[in-house]
A and B are shown apart, each in its own frame.
Chain A
Amino acid sequence: MTDSMKRRSFLQGAALLGAGMVSKAGAATLPEAPVQGSAATAAPLVPPNGRPYNPVVTLNGWSLPWRMKDGVKEFHLVAEPVVRELAPGMHANLWGYNGQSPGPTIEVVEGDRVRIFVTNKLPEHTSVHWHGQILPNGMDGVSGVTQPSIQPGKTFVYEFVAKHAGTFMYHPHADEMAQMAMGMMGFWVTHPKDPRQHAVDRDFVFLLSAYDIEPGSYTPKVNTMLDFNLWTFNSRVFPAIDPMVVRQGERVRIRAGNLTMTNHPLHVHGHTFEVTGTDGGWVRPSARWPEVTTDVAVGQMRAIEFVADNPGDWAFHCHKSHHTMNAMGHDVPTLIGVDHRGVAEKINKLVPGYMVMGEKGGAMGGMRMPLPENTLPMMTGTGQFGEIEMGGMFTLLKVREGLARGDYRDPGHYRHPKGTVAYEWTGEAPPAPSAPGGKAGRADGALDVRRGGASTGHEGH
């Protein structure tokens, strides 16, 4: 969209202006702050120096490069307003780091000394809390408690040793309600010293976040507490979330952190998995149990692992059904079973362009009607067999034979072996079973519900 292009170039202008405000002497001592503009999934960042590790893949995100200085890994985060493409056709005015929201994933190795420069280009003060890290109290990033907040235009330095391998995240601990509602967050992975320890073939990471963006607007309503209308993996919604592509037989790890205000039961089809890690560390093998769904509570992180032994296109999603929808009206009354004959014509006379929806259920049967500016259909996405009717926290785990190592390209729809797809039965219908002693259901299949006050007294009109 041209609007977002304009906004983007404006933001770049603002970033340049901000950079110009840093003094030359100061700038020389700061490591580079790389910027990412694309919402595509970046290739894993193979470590160019320091200890070796198996890099992770950030869904629709990227990992932050560093510089080594006197044996210290130096990163530079720039907190700033950004425009995030939640899905093609919808952009959000968010706050993030280095051109994106969520910010880049920081990957370090157990025992690394880490120095992180944080420059604040937001209109208000901020701080960064390194969620789950065991570090000196003064590095914990709680403004007012452990440090003064970082004022606009200022740069602070955090320095600590990444003591424990595991799955972490970072986010502000200053005006955090507004700043997290605006998308200030990022992933953090501390790899084990020995790359063979907990080694997996593919390691996907993402954060769960939620936004309330009124259709037709661009900025989230930061005061919304629970009634969000966009539920995201890394600030992307299906069908714009990249699939997790793996080769059949590979060991796969998926790590997710929850920075929304409700829990998310993450569910994988076609495989069982074990929860192998939390933000508290690795789960002992004896304590793991098999799951197909794991609940990620608010402020928690989970790492699940499984062997992708079952080829196909497998749904991976939050099991709260509203979380696999995009923007929708939560106060719209249920129209299921409501006869619209006669009324629809009357309404059409008053509101040209009116179409009856919902009298048979929520599905829109592939209808594509004009929507308000900058929003997405409630359910969307098309598969090889038709409408997927999903949005939000939903993507596909694509397991394929014979993919190359490190090949994350979308292999397209799964080609089912003959006779392995559910099909329509065209033979004689089997007799309906009846419960012993139970009376048969009504012939028309309608529920026989009795209500009080069924007489409406409205026939006179």
Chain B
Amino acid sequence: MNIKSPLRLTAATAVLLALTGCASFSGDAGMGAIDPLVQARTGAPARTLKTEADRRALDELLQARLAQPLSADGAVEIALLNNRTLQASYWELGIAEADLVQAGRLQNPAFGYQHMRGGGDVSIERTLTFNLVSLITAPLASRIEGRQFEQTRQQVAAEAVQVAADTRRAWVEAVAATQAVEYARQVAGAAEASAELGQRMRQAGNWSAYDQAREQAFYAEAMADVARATQAATAAREHLTRLLGLWGTQAQYRLPERLPELPAAPRDIADVEQRAVRERLDVQAANLATQRTASALGLSRATRFVNVLELGAVRESDGGAKARGYEVTLEIPLFDWGGARTARAEAVYMQAVNRLAATATDARSAARESYQAYRSAYDVARHYRDVVIPLRKKLSDETLLRYNGMLLSTFELLADAREQRSAVNAYVGALKDFWLAESSLETALGGRLPAVVPPSQQGATQ
């Protein structure tokens, strides 16, 4: 578009620029928008590492956290800042924000200068070209990028919440696996004492090779169990380490020796369904999608007769390279008066409405199921703590009394010691299931639950 006299347009451009209400950079790559979302759901902040100062602050935090045995909350805090996959996702937000800001900006005007000489004539043409289409489409593009940004925000927040939940679960698994190694070692210790005593029995001539071999076989199997438990503990710990994004000397962090004790009472949550519908990010996303399609429907209805533009988000994938943008189609309303478009928008809207309903229904069901699983896991763990373990203890006490009365032998005493440790191990398993169930419940309800119950002081894990 060549305009001979561009000067008058300058003022118009300024007006238009103001009209587009263009977005500007938030300065924190958009993290300010999701940090509250993530904090409310994980109890820890989400921040992009941008500067050397950020890096130093993280190092200091890691140093402080890793000086102590790492708690579950500490692990979540580290993962949200130090998990590089998550950091990469945080930058996704920066990309989306940049796109949004870009969309809100008009293309730069182009200044043209033409000098022609011919037939003794010299003509000089100066042009200031300005992409008017972009001027018209800028608000629409902004709106699309705005939605894109919003969606990315939701995605990144959901990813952070997922990493937090994964980390919490990995922490529980790693601590429980370490405990399992300890108990496997104790069982092996009892078997070792039996085997050693069996060997002495054989040497003294009191036992046959059969009896000795039986005790040795127990010990050999117990040692295999120790090896298996150790391998499982290594795998569990490495899974956690990956989520924490740690390596080198930092990977030598310590974990607590035991899982936290069972709370004195389980959480009593009356409104699990409402809470899930209110807090879950997937429900919120479905809700936003519905609102967006509603506004699109409204727009279609309002512009159906004068619709000159078709807006569409474009996402192209060409080999490995991905391109994102939008396209604007100019259309002359000669044959199509927009009825079909309105019908489509209506259908899209109804689709979104139903997807929202389905998401909410699923969320309610998941909330109920998780809460039920959580309560059952609590009951099972409490049963072990209050019934099974005390009974095992009682059995051990009575076994020792029978040994004292020469009614039972040392070998039966050691066999009982093995069984008692197996029961303790089963309790640790039940406790692990409880903490995992709590984590699942939090995921199903959309975020961290307040610590309503102080941890029990009684009922040692022995």
Chain A residues close to B by CB (< 8 Å): 215-216, 327-329, 331-340, 342-343, 346-347, 349-351, 353-355, 357-358, 362, 364, 369-372, 375, 377-378, 449, 451, 453-454, 456, 458, 461
Asked if B200 lies at the interface with its beta carbon under 8 angstroms from chain A, I say yes
Of the listed stretches B39-47, B190-198, B286-294, chain A binds B190-198
Task: Give the CA-CA distance A346 to B196 in the complex, in Å.
Answer: 10
The answer to whether A378 and B406 touch across the interface, beta carbons within 8 angstroms, is yes
Of the listed stretches B71-79, B123-131, B396-404, chain A binds B396-404
A-B contact pairs, 14 of them (CB 8 A): A329-B405, A332-B406, A333-B201, A347-B414, A349-B189, A351-B413, A353-B400, A354-B413, A357-B406, A358-B406, A378-B405, A454-B203, A456-B212, A461-B192
Contact among B196, B406, B414 with A461 in the assembled complex (CB-CB below 8 Å): B196
**Which chain B residues border A371 with CB–CB below 8 Å?**
401, 404-405
B411 (CB) vs chain A CBs: closest residue: A333
Most chain A CB atoms below 10 A, which of B197, B209, B212, B413: B197
Task: Give the CA-CA distance A349 to B189 in the complex, in Å.
Answer: 9
B398 (CB) vs chain A CBs: closest residue: A372
The answer to whether B409 and A331 touch across the interface, beta carbons within 8 angstroms, is yes
Asked if B27 lies at the interface with its beta carbon under 8 angstroms from chain A, I say no
Asked if B417 lies at the interface with its beta carbon under 8 angstroms from chain A, I say yes
The answer to whether B413 and A335 touch across the interface, beta carbons within 8 angstroms, is no
Task: Give the CA-CA distance A456 to B416 in the complex, in Å.
Answer: 25
The answer to whether A216 and B200 touch across the interface, beta carbons within 8 angstroms, is no
A325 CB, nearest partner CB in chain B, Å: 9
**Which chain A residues border B406 with CB–CB below 8 Å?**
328-329, 332, 357-358, 362, 364, 378
B311 CB, nearest partner CB in chain A, Å: 75
Which residues from 441 to 457 on chain B have a C-beta closer than 8 Å to any C-beta of chain A? none
The answer to whether A458 and B414 touch across the interface, beta carbons within 8 angstroms, is no
The answer to whether A456 and B202 touch across the interface, beta carbons within 8 angstroms, is yes
A164 CB, nearest partner CB in chain B, Å: 45
The secondary structure that dominates the A interface is loop
The answer to whether B405 and A340 touch across the interface, beta carbons within 8 angstroms, is no
Asked if B206 lies at the interface with its beta carbon under 8 angstroms from chain A, I say yes
B175-218 interface mask toward A, CB cutoff 8 Å, 1 = contact, 0 = none? 00000000000100110110111011111111101011000100
B394 CB, nearest partner CB in chain A, Å: 11
Asked if B408 lies at the interface with its beta carbon under 8 angstroms from chain A, I say yes
Task: Give the CA-CA distance A160 to B382 in the complex, in Å.
Answer: 69
The answer to whether A333 and B202 touch across the interface, beta carbons within 8 angstroms, is no
**Which chain B residues border A340 with CB–CB below 8 Å?**
197, 200
**Which chain A residues border B401 with CB–CB below 8 Å?**
215, 370-372
B149 CB, nearest partner CB in chain A, Å: 62
Which residues from 402 to 446 on chain B have a C-beta closer than 8 Å to any C-beta of chain A? 402-411, 413-414, 416-417
Asked if B371 lies at the interface with its beta carbon under 8 angstroms from chain A, I say no
Task: Give the CA-CA distance A244 to B192 in the complex, in Å.
Answer: 52
Contact among A216, A334, A337, A343 with B197 in the assembled complex (CB-CB below 8 Å): A343
A450 (CB) vs chain B CBs: closest residue: B205
**CB-CB nearest 6 A-B residue pairs:** A369-B404, A337-B204, A329-B407, A346-B193, A372-B401, A350-B417
The secondary structure that dominates the B interface is helix
Task: Give the CA-CA distance A321 to B405 in the complex, in Å.
Answer: 18
A212 CB, nearest partner CB in chain B, Å: 13
**Which chain A residues border B203 with CB–CB below 8 Å?**
338-339, 454, 456
The answer to whether A351 and B414 touch across the interface, beta carbons within 8 angstroms, is yes
Chain B interface extent, by class? 35 or more
Asked if B90 lies at the interface with its beta carbon under 8 angstroms from chain A, I say no
Q: Given the interface contacts A329-B406, A371-B404, does A338 sit within 8 Å of B209 by beta carbon?
A: no
The answer to whether B408 and A332 touch across the interface, beta carbons within 8 angstroms, is yes
Task: Give the CA-CA distance A372 to B190 in the complex, in Å.
Answer: 23
Task: Give the CA-CA distance A258 to B94 in the complex, in Å.
Answer: 100
Q: Given the interface contacts A343-B193, A369-B404, does A350 sit within 8 Å of B206 by beta carbon?
A: no
B418 CB, nearest partner CB in chain A, Å: 9
The answer to whether B204 and A342 touch across the interface, beta carbons within 8 angstroms, is no
Asked if B219 lies at the interface with its beta carbon under 8 angstroms from chain A, I say yes
Q: Given the interface contacts A350-B186, A371-B401, A372-B402, does A215 sit within 8 Å of B407 by beta carbon?
A: yes
Q: Given the interface contacts A335-B201, A337-B205, does A350 sit within 8 Å of B405 by beta carbon?
A: no
Task: Give the CA-CA distance A338 to B197 in the complex, in Å.
Answer: 8
**Which chain B residues border A370 with CB–CB below 8 Å?**
401, 404
Q: Given the interface contacts A329-B408, A329-B409, A461-B192, does A339 sit within 8 Å of B414 by beta carbon?
A: no
Q: Given the interface contacts A351-B417, A453-B209, does A458 sit within 8 Å of B199 by beta carbon?
A: yes
The answer to whether A338 and B409 touch across the interface, beta carbons within 8 angstroms, is no
B314 CB, nearest partner CB in chain A, Å: 70
Contact among B211, B219, B414 with A350 in the assembled complex (CB-CB below 8 Å): B414
A242 CB, nearest partner CB in chain B, Å: 25
Contact among A333, A337, A375, A377 with B409 in the assembled complex (CB-CB below 8 Å): A333
Most chain B CB atoms below 10 A, which of A328, A333, A369: A333
A327 CB, nearest partner CB in chain B, Å: 7
Task: Give the CA-CA distance A423 to B25 in the complex, in Å.
Answer: 107
A14 CB, nearest partner CB in chain B, Å: 31
Task: Give the CA-CA distance A335 to B404 in the complex, in Å.
Answer: 14
Task: Give the CA-CA distance A161 to B185 in the complex, in Å.
Answer: 76
B208 (CB) vs chain A CBs: closest residue: A453
Q: Given the interface contacts A332-B408, A372-B402, A377-B405, does A338 sit within 8 Å of B195 by beta carbon?
A: no
**Which chain B residues border A453 with CB–CB below 8 Å?**
209
**Which chain B residues border A354 with CB–CB below 8 Å?**
400, 403, 410, 413
**Which chain A residues border B195 with CB–CB below 8 Å?**
458, 461
**Which chain B residues border A369 with CB–CB below 8 Å?**
404-405
**Which chain A residues border B410 with CB–CB below 8 Å?**
335, 347, 354
The answer to whether A347 and B193 touch across the interface, beta carbons within 8 angstroms, is yes
Contact among A215, A339, A346, A347 with B200 in the assembled complex (CB-CB below 8 Å): A339
The answer to whether B402 and A329 touch across the interface, beta carbons within 8 angstroms, is yes
**Which chain A residues border B396 with CB–CB below 8 Å?**
351
The answer to whether B206 and A351 touch across the interface, beta carbons within 8 angstroms, is no
Contact among B201, B206, B211, B407 with A327 in the assembled complex (CB-CB below 8 Å): B407
A459 CB, nearest partner CB in chain B, Å: 9
B211 (CB) vs chain A CBs: closest residue: A333
Task: Give the CA-CA distance A343 to B197 in the complex, in Å.
Answer: 7
Task: Give the CA-CA distance A392 to B195 in the complex, in Å.
Answer: 35
B399 (CB) vs chain A CBs: closest residue: A351
Task: Give the CA-CA distance A435 to B396 in the complex, in Å.
Answer: 53
A460 CB, nearest partner CB in chain B, Å: 10
B409 CB, nearest partner CB in chain A, Å: 4
The answer to whether A461 and B219 touch across the interface, beta carbons within 8 angstroms, is yes
**Which chain B residues border A372 with CB–CB below 8 Å?**
398, 401-402, 405, 407
**Which chain A residues border B408 with CB–CB below 8 Å?**
329, 332
Q: Given the interface contacts A329-B409, A338-B197, A342-B196, does A215 sit within 8 Å of B402 by beta carbon?
A: yes
Which residues from 106 to 135 on chain B have a C-beta closer than 8 Å to any C-beta of chain A? none
**Which chain A residues border B404 with CB–CB below 8 Å?**
355, 369-371
B453 CB, nearest partner CB in chain A, Å: 33
**Which chain A residues border B196 with CB–CB below 8 Å?**
342-343, 346, 458, 461
**Which chain A residues border B189 with CB–CB below 8 Å?**
346, 349-350
A179 CB, nearest partner CB in chain B, Å: 27
B458 CB, nearest partner CB in chain A, Å: 21
**Which chain B residues border A358 with CB–CB below 8 Å?**
406
- Additional pairs, 18, CB under 8 Å, beyond known A328-B407, A332-B408, A333-B207: A329-B407, A331-B409, A335-B201, A338-B201, A350-B190, A351-B396, A354-B410, A355-B404, A369-B404, A369-B405, A371-B401, A372-B401, A378-B405, A456-B199, A456-B203, A456-B212, A458-B199, A461-B196
